[in-house]
Amino acid sequence: MTSERPDKRPDVHADTRASDAERERVAERLREAVAEGRLDMAEFDERLGAAYKARTHGELVPLVRDLPAPGTTADLTPMDGAAVPGPRGGDGVWADRIGRERATSKGAFAFWSGFSRKGRWTVGRTFTAGVFQAGGEIDLREARFEERDVVIRCFTVMGGIGIVVPPGMDVEVRGFGFMGGFGEEGDVDVPVAPGSPRVVVTGFALMGGVGVHRKERKAEKRRLKEERKLRKLEETRDPEARERKELG
């Protein structure tokens, strides 16, 4: 007696007609992939064109089959387990970055030198940083968090600490500066993203400074840049779209 392997079963969803929303979800995943460096522009352009021309699920699925699935799920899920990602939003952006790993760093100190915590690292529930005639960098844009509530304590003497956070992160600054500064810069009116960790920055700056700066993630900057390139390319291909944009 033989049985058919699960990965060889026919995909009953393959011939189902794809909707505009499903095509757009695949396009968004492709944009993320090129921003992350997973696809080059030639592959991106080819797959994006195929996505917008696709008529069925079976034509959409191969376009993202070799890309990692994001934290959220989508309606378009074929029998072989490949998933077409859904749009960003909700807790999906933060779900895989909070409470899944132990802290890789709980503090840093620099004396006549400097320290840096950036890239993918896991912030402890309490992180304490100190500098004396030195500088420090704490970048939370790609960081993971041991818990949702985090306290970052900064103490500077004739030195400075810069904390970089993405727009939409829930940050509260409570520190105090004497003959120096302790505050937040950038667009502080951006709404808090759902599911964001809650970060409290506290401490003391003497003849130095502690500054919180809001900046987009590098991958997001690349994605936005590629989107601008794509819009220009689409306008070049469609003169009427360019004319509508110029007319407002």
With bands split at pLDDT 50, 70 and 90, how would you rate the model's confidence at 13? low
State residue 21 phi and psi, 5-degree precision: -65, -40
Q: Is 100 exposed, middle or buried (0-12, 13-18, 19+ CB in 10 A)?
A: exposed
Is the predicted pLDDT of residue 76 greater than 50, yes or no?
no
Q: Which of 96, 100, 118 is nearest to 108 (CA)?
A: 118
CA distances from 62 to 5, 49, 58, 245 (A): 20, 13, 7, 33
The residue written with tokens 């509530």 in the block is: 149
Convert 207-221 to b/e letters by CB count within 10 Å (16 or more is b): ebbbbbebeebeebe
Which tens digit of pLDDT belongs to each residue from 119-143?
899 999 999 999 999 999 999 999 9
| CA gap 151, 94 in Å, rounded | 18
| CA gap 19, 13 in Å, rounded | 13
% pLDDT > 70, the chain: 69
Predicted pLDDT at 69: 64
Predicted pLDDT at 16: 84
With bands split at pLDDT 50, 70 and 90, how would you rate the model's confidence at 73? very low
With bands split at pLDDT 50, 70 and 90, how would you rate the model's confidence at 183? confident
With bands split at pLDDT 50, 70 and 90, how would you rate the model's confidence at 229? low
% pLDDT > 90, the chain: 34
Is the predicted pLDDT of residue 94 greater than 80, yes or no?
yes
Is the pTM here over 0.85, yes or no? no
Predicted pLDDT at 67: 82
